[in-house]
Amino acid sequence: MTLPRDLIPPSMRATLDAARRMADPFEDVRRQHDMLRASGVLGIAERMKLETPLALAAMGRNPFMDRMQGVGALMRAQTDADRVYRAAFPNGLIEQAERIAQLSAGFALPDGLERFRTPTDSFVDRILRLSDSGLGASALAIGRPAQIEAFARASAMADMFAESDRLTRGVREAVGAFSITEMPQFANLAGYRSFLDAAGLRLAHWPRRRLLTMAEKRRRLKARLQANSAPPHVKRAKTLVHRYELTLREILDAVMAETYGEDWADERLPLCDCKDLLGKWKKRGGEVFDHADYTHYARIMSHPEHFQAIFEAGFDDPEAVFDLLKQAGKLRAASHHAHLFTPEDLKALRLTWNQIETGLIALTPDFELEWTG
C-alpha cells in the first residue's frame, strides 16, 4: 500500500521513487559498515601513533576529524533515507509493523542467532518491505506467533551472513537451526521469494519460468550452430584429408590391380585380414575402397607379400607404413568428428601426409604411353 502519487510534491517524487527502489534497508546499513571499515576508521588509532601533532600541523589538516565528519555524513544520509522511505507508507501501516516488531522481541532465537537479532527499527523497515512486495498489504497478516518467529529468524540469519566473514561452526549450527524452522505457507514460489527477500535473505538471481517461442528457439539454435562452425585450421584439415585420401585410394587400387589383376580384392583381401572390407563391398557395391578405412589401408600396404611385391619401392619398412597410416587415421577422426583438433594437430597431419606422399610418388609409373594419330 502506498500513498497516491498526486499527494506527493513533485520535488519529492524522484526521491521517494529512488527510496522505494532501494534494497532491504539493512543492506544500506551493511554498506555503511563496509564503507567505515574500508575508510580505515578502525585503524586510525594505529595511524595516530605515526602522525604526530607536529606533522599534522605541518600538513594543515586533522585526519581524525575528517574521518569523523565522513562518518557523521553517512549517518545523516541513512537517517534521511529511512525518513523518506517510511514517508511512503500510511501511519497505520507503520504502527502495525511496529507492533509486529515488538512481538518479535519476545521470541527467543536459537543460540547461534540471538546475538544477530535485528534491531527494532531495521525490523520495522523489513516488515514494511514485506508489505510492499508482491504479497501486498496482506503480508502484514503474519500475526500468528509461528509466522512472526519465522520472519525474525530469517531476519537474524540475514544479519548473521552480512556480518560473518568466515564459515565457522557457529554459522553452520545457526543454519541448521534455521533450516528446521517452520515457514508460513504461500500460494506460490513468488510468495516465499518475497518473504525471504524482505527478511534480507536475497538471492543474486531468483529463477523464473518463461515460455520460449518457436522463433526464439530457432534463433538460439542458429546462434549455437554459428558458434560451433569449424575454425579455419579444421576446414583446412578436412580439405587436405579429402584430397590425399581419395588419391591414396586411386593409387592403391591401380597398383594392386596391376600386380594381381582386376579381381585382386577377392583374392588378396582375405589374406591381409580385410575380410570385413570384402564383405561390405560385396553387400553394398561400388568401388572396393569406398568402404575402406585407414586400418584397411595399413593392412593392405604392410602385408609382407604386398609390401615386397609393390610398396617396398616407396617405403623401406612395413611397420613404419602401418604406423604412418594409423597416425593419419587418428588425426582424420579428430578433424572430421568434432573432437579436439588444434593447429598443432594440423601441423602433424600435414607432416604425416607429406611422408606418405613421398612413398606414393615412388609408386607412380616412370613413363606412360601416348598414342598419336
- Return the percentage of the chain with pLDDT > 70, whole number: 72
* Three-class DSSP labels, the chain: CCCCHHHCCHHHHHHHHHHHCCCCHHHHHHHHHHHHHHHCHHHHHHHHHHCCHHHHHHHCCCHHHHHHHHHHHHHHHHHHHHHHHHHCCCHHHHHHHHHHHHHHCCCCCCHHHHCCCCCHHHHHHHHHHHHCCCCHHHHHHCCCHHHHHHHHHHHHHHHHHHHCCCCCHHHHHHHHHHHCCCCCCCCCHHHHHHHHHHHCCCCCCCCCCCCCCHHHHHHHHHHHHHHCCCCHHHHHHHHHHHHHHHHHHHHHHHHHHHHHCCCHHHHHHHHHCCHHHHHHHHHHCCCHHHHCCHHHHHHHHHCHHHHHHCHHHCCCCHHHHHHHHHHHHHHHHHHHCCCCCCHHHHHHHHHHHHHHHHHHHHCCCCCCCCCCC
Q: What is the mean pLDDT of residues 200-226?
A: 84
Q: For 146-176, how does the pLDDT look when each residue is reduced to its tens digit (9 = 90+)?
A: 888 889 999 999 999 888 888 888 888 888 8
The pLDDT value recorded for residue 351 is 95
Q: What is the mean pLDDT of residues 190-206?
A: 78
Q: For 127-145, how does the pLDDT look when each residue is reduced to its tens digit (9 = 90+)?
A: 888 776 655 444 445 667 7
- Return the percentage of the chain with pLDDT > 90, whole number: 40
The pLDDT value recorded for residue 31 is 52
The pLDDT value recorded for residue 326 is 96
C-alpha cell belonging to residue 51: 602522525
Q: Is the pLDDT of residue 56 over 80?
A: no
Per the CB < 8 A criterion, the answer to whether 302 and 254 are in contact is: no
The pLDDT value recorded for residue 44 is 44
Which of residues 77 and 120 earns the better pLDDT score? Answer: 120
Q: Is the pLDDT of residue 336 over 80?
A: yes
Whole-angstrom Cα distance, residue 83 to residue 125?
A: 11
Q: For 79-114, how does the pLDDT look when each residue is reduced to its tens digit (9 = 90+)?
A: 566 566 677 778 888 888 888 888 888 888 888 888
